[in-house]
C-alpha cells in the first residue's frame, strides 16, 4: 500500500510540473506592463474540513498586459494538508488524513493603489487519503474540482505582495458523500519577477 501511495504521489508531482511547463509555453506574455511577468508565492491555509491546516504554493504569470489598471493572471496552485484526527466520520477511531490538491486558474483584478482586489475561477484535482486501523477508514480518493476565489494583495514593495484569499471548492463526482465541498482562507506572500 505504501509503495502504491508513493507511485501516485510521484505521478501527481509530475502532473503538477507539466502544468507549470504548459503555462510557460502556451500563455503569451507581453513584458510592457508592470503587472506581467512571473510570480511565486507561499501560503498558510485553513480549511473548514479535516484535515484543516496546511500549506500552499502558487506560480502565476501575467496575461493581457495591454488592458490599463486591470491585472489578469494564469495561476498554477498546489496545497497540502495533513492531520491526525481522534475520530474521523464519527467512527470513534483515530485516522491520519492527507489532502494534496493542484489546479490551474484564471485571475482578474484591479492593479492600483495599496490594495489590489482580485477574483478567480479554476479547475483542479484533489487527492484525499485516510489511513486507520480499521479497513473501512483506510482509503484514498481522487476528485476533480472547480473553485471560485477572491482576495486582496498588499504590494508593500514592487516585488513583494502579502495577500489574503478566500477559496470555495466544489468536488465533482462526490455527491454521495457528506464531503463534497470545502472553503479555505489563505495568508501568504507572493514574490514577483
Residue 176 belongs to domain with CATH number: 2.40.160.20
- Of the given ranges (2-11, 25-34, 131-140, 180-189), which has the lowest mean pLDDT? 25-34
pTM: 0.75
Q: Which three cell numbers stand for residue 62?
A: 501575467
The Cα-based distances of 175 to 5, 77, 89 in angstroms read 25, 24, 16
100: left (phi over 0), alpha (psi -120 to 50) or beta: beta
pLDDT tens readout for residues 42-83: 999 999 888 889 999 999 998 877 777 788 999 999 999 998
Can you tell me the distance from the alpha carbon of 146 to that of 73, in angstroms, rounded to the nearest whole number? 17
Can you tell me the distance from the alpha carbon of 189 to that of 193, in angstroms, rounded to the nearest whole number? 13
Q: Which of 5-9, 55-59, 131-135 has the highest mean pLDDT?
A: 55-59
Q: What mean pLDDT, rounded, does the chain reach?
A: 80
Domain that holds residue 59: 2-192
pLDDT tens readout for residues 87-116: 666 666 787 888 999 999 999 998 777 889
Return the H-helix or E-strand segment holding 9. Answer: helix 2-26
List residues bridging with 74 in a β-sheet: 61, 106
Domain count, the chain: 1
Q: Which three cell numbers stand for residue 76?
A: 498554477
Amino acid at each position: 500500500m505504501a509503495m502504491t501511495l508513493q507511485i501516485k504521489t510521484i505521478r501527481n508531482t509530475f502532473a503538477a510540473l507539466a502544468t507549470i511547463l504548459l503555462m510557460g509555453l502556451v500563455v503569451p506574455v507581453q513584458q510592457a506592463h508592470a503587472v506581467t511577468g512571473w510570480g511565486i508565492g507561499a501560503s498558510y491555509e485553513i480549511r473548514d474540513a479535516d484535515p484543516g491546516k496546511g500549506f500552499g504554493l502558487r506560480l502565476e504569470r501575467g496575461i493581457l498586459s495591454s488592458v490599463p489598471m486591470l491585472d489578469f493572471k494564469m495561476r498554477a496552485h498546489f496545497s497540502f494538508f495533513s492531520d491526525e484526527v481522534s475520530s474521523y466520520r464519527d467512527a470513534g477511531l483515530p485516522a491520519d488524513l492527507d489532502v494534496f490538491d493542484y489546479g490551474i486558474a484564471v485571475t482578474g483584478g484591479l492593479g492600483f493603489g495599496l490594495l489590489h482586489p482580485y477574483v478567480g475561477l479554476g479547475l483542479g484535482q484533489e487527492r484525499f487519503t485516510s489511513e486507520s486501523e480499521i479497513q473501512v477508514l483506510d482509503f484514498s480518493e481522487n476528485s476533480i474540482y472547480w473553485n471560485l476565489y477572491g482576495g486582496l494583495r498588499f504590494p508593500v514593495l514592487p516585488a513583494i505582495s502579502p495577500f489574503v484569499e478566500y477559496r470555495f471548492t466544489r468536488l465533482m463526482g462526490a455527491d454521495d458523500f457528506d464531503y463534497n465541498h470545502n472553503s479555505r482562507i489563505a495568508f501568504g506572500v507572493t514574490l514577483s519577477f
